[in-house]
Amino acid sequence: MAKVIVVTSGKGGVGKTTSTASIGAALAQTGKRVCVVDFDVGLRNLDLVLGAERRVVYDLINVALGDAKLKQALIRDKRIDTLHLLAASQTRDKDALTDDGVERVMGELRASFDYVICDSPAGIERGALLAMRFADQAVVVTNPEVSSVRDSDRIIGLLDSKTRCAERGDRMDKQLLLTRFDQGRCSRGEMLSVADVLDILSIPLLGIIPESADILRASNLGAPVTINNAASVAGRAYVDAARRLAGETVPMTIPGVAKKNLLDRVFGRRAA
Amino acid sequence: MTLFGFLKARGTAPVARERLQILLAHERVSLGSCDLLAKLRDELLATIARHIEFDPEKLTVKLDRAGSTSTLEIDVEIPSDKFTSGARRAVPAQVSAA
């Protein structure tokens, strides 16, 4: 049975889309059938990060309204056979998405994939609530920074009250993905530590993704870092997070802590 | 940075942590699970009001999350005379003595 995972955060710009694409690609590389779904109607970007921006014909709203069949709207990744994208509409109004329409699409996706990963828009409006509504579990993307942590806390509250899972009386499984982490700044006391954020948000940790030039380089090229440069520190961090999401036990490493050579010590204290 | 700046408390992260802890403790009560809290409050009010007359304003419901546990705190202030006449009509002497 498929697992529906929502990638959410409340705050914008923390790395939801990047994380959706990177984790989706990493899971698909293991042979699992994965569909990443963009819920950011009017501001879609998952297609761009995956390098599929010129291949979008039909989108989530077309399928939800019955204007197109799911098969017509799904875009298969050219690099990984098992990775698919369902894009958001760039032109339609987000109110065109209805509860019933999304529920039907989610049902169809569940039938044909192992993982359905929903990329939530920022905010706590309709699009964000619909992205989380039918999820079985959530990845809360947070930066070690006050506004992001506060918004994540709000989102955790919504995951516990506004989802089908919560309404059934079940407890939604929520995991924290700490992104744009910089160990150097953290050890100088300039940035909230992993322990600080975990302590405040009280949800288990899925992974720690370092602030990294490799991620920007990958998105410039339209390839998630797990495809473009899986051996990089950020790439490995995402691969590990994806393995944990799939239920494997992978030891947690804080990127930038293990290896620090003399040059790093003398010149730059930025990790990763 | 001043000349002896390095002697001062290091880093701003502890300040961020403390501000967040205070803010979120407050927001979780007023915003975080507002639906659940409002529902709990209404149902508690209805249940208590069935047996005792009291001022609805004197009922506070708090939900707090700290570490791995959550606590639900219910505080009801009941005027002593209401309690006497409403709840224990059968044994008035005993209650008023208490």
| CA B20 – CA B14 distance, rounded (Å) | 10
- Report angle CA B76, B78, B82 to the nearest 5 degrees: 150
Predicted confidence band of residue A149 (pLDDT cuts 50, 70, 90)? very high
Q: What chain A residue is nearest to B68 in terms of C-alpha separation?
A: A202
B78 has a pLDDT exceeding 50: yes
Q: Do B36 and A161 touch (CB under 8 A)?
A: yes
Chain A residues bordering chain B (beta-carbon distance below 8 Å): 145-146, 149-150, 153-154, 156-157, 160-162, 186, 188-193, 196, 199-200, 202
Comparison of pLDDT for B38 and A48, the residue scoring more: A48
Predicted confidence band of residue B80 (pLDDT cuts 50, 70, 90)? confident
Model pLDDT, residue B87? 46
Mutate to test the interface with A, among B15, B18, B20 (most CBs of A within 10 A): B20
Helix, strand or coil for residue A176?
Answer: strand
Section B44-58 average pLDDT: 82
A133 has a pLDDT exceeding 50: yes
Looking at A93-102, A139-148, A168-177, B24-33, which range is the least confident one? B24-33
Model pLDDT, residue A9? 96
Q: Which residues of B touch A171 (CB under 8 A)?
A: none
Predicted confidence band of residue A114 (pLDDT cuts 50, 70, 90)? very high
> Nearest to residue A194, comparing CAs of B12, B13, B28?
B13
Strand partners, A117: A5, A36
Q: Do A146 and B36 touch (CB under 8 A)?
A: no
- Looking up tokens 């290896």 gives A259
Element (H, E) at A129: helix A126-133
Predicted confidence band of residue B95 (pLDDT cuts 50, 70, 90)? very low
Q: What chain B residue is nearest to A166 in terms of C-alpha separation?
A: B36
Q: Residue A36 in contact with residue A119, Cβ under 8 Å?
A: yes
A90 has a pLDDT exceeding 70: yes
| CA A84 – CA A207 distance, rounded (Å) | 23
Instruction: Tell me the backbone φ, ψ of residue B73, rounded to 5 degrees.
Output: -115, 120
Using CA atoms, how far residue A203 sits from A18, A169, A174, B6, B75, in Å, is 21, 18, 6, 35, 28
> Nearest to residue A5, comparing CAs of A15, A14, A27, A13?
A27
Instruction: Say how far residue A162 (Cα) sits from the centre of its chain.
Output: 19
Chain B residues bordering chain A (beta-carbon distance below 8 Å): 10-14, 16-17, 19-21, 23-24, 27-28, 31-33, 35-36, 65-68
State chain A's mean pLDDT as an integer: 92
B25 has a pLDDT exceeding 90: no
Q: Which of A154, A189, A199 sits opposite B32 (nearest CB)?
A: A154
Q: Do B36 and A190 touch (CB under 8 A)?
A: no
Give residue-wise pLDDT tens across range A213-245.
Answer: 999 999 999 999 999 999 999 999 999 999 999
Helix, strand or coil for residue A20?
Answer: helix
pTM of structure = 0.78
Section B12-26 average pLDDT: 90
Model pLDDT, residue A264? 57
| CA A35 – CA B48 distance, rounded (Å) | 50
State chain B's mean pLDDT as an integer: 70
Model pLDDT, residue B90? 42
Q: Which of B20, B31, B67 sits opposite A154 (nearest CB)?
A: B31
Q: Residue A225 in contact with residue A272, Cβ under 8 Å?
A: no
Section A96-122 average pLDDT: 95
Percent of the residues in chain A that have a pLDDT greater than 90, as a whole number: 87
Q: What chain B residue is nearest to A148 in terms of C-alpha separation?
A: B20
Q: Which of A153, A162, A196 sits opposite B13 (nearest CB)?
A: A196
Tokens coding A7: 């990638």
Burial class for B56, CB neighbours closer than 10 Å (0-12, 13-18, 19+): exposed
Q: Which residues of B touch A188 (CB under 8 A)?
A: 10-11
Comparison of pLDDT for A77 and B9, the residue scoring more: A77
Which residues are CB-neighbours of A253 under 8 A, at least 6 positions away?
A: A208, A237, A240
CB pairs under 8 A between A and B: 55
- Report angle CA A21, A99, A153 to the nearest 5 degrees: 55
B13 has a pLDDT exceeding 70: yes
Q: Residue A159 in contact with residue A29, Cβ under 8 Å?
A: no
| CA A264 – CA B5 distance, rounded (Å) | 24
Section A104-117 average pLDDT: 97
Instruction: Say how far residue A262 (Cα) sits from the centre of its chain.
Output: 35
Model pLDDT, residue B9? 55
DSSP string, chain B: --TTGGGSPP-SHHHHHHHHHHHHHHHIIIIITHHHHHHHHHHHHHHHHHH----GGGEEEEEEEETTEEEEEEEE---HHHIIIII-TT-HHHHHH-
Q: Do B27 and A189 touch (CB under 8 A)?
A: no
Model pLDDT, residue B93? 39
B6 has a pLDDT exceeding 90: no
Section B32-39 average pLDDT: 63
Highest-pLDDT range among A162-171, A263-272, B68-77: A162-171
Give residue-wise pLDDT tens across range A238-261.
Answer: 999 999 999 999 999 888 775 556
Indicate the residue type of B33.
S
Strand partners, A86: A37
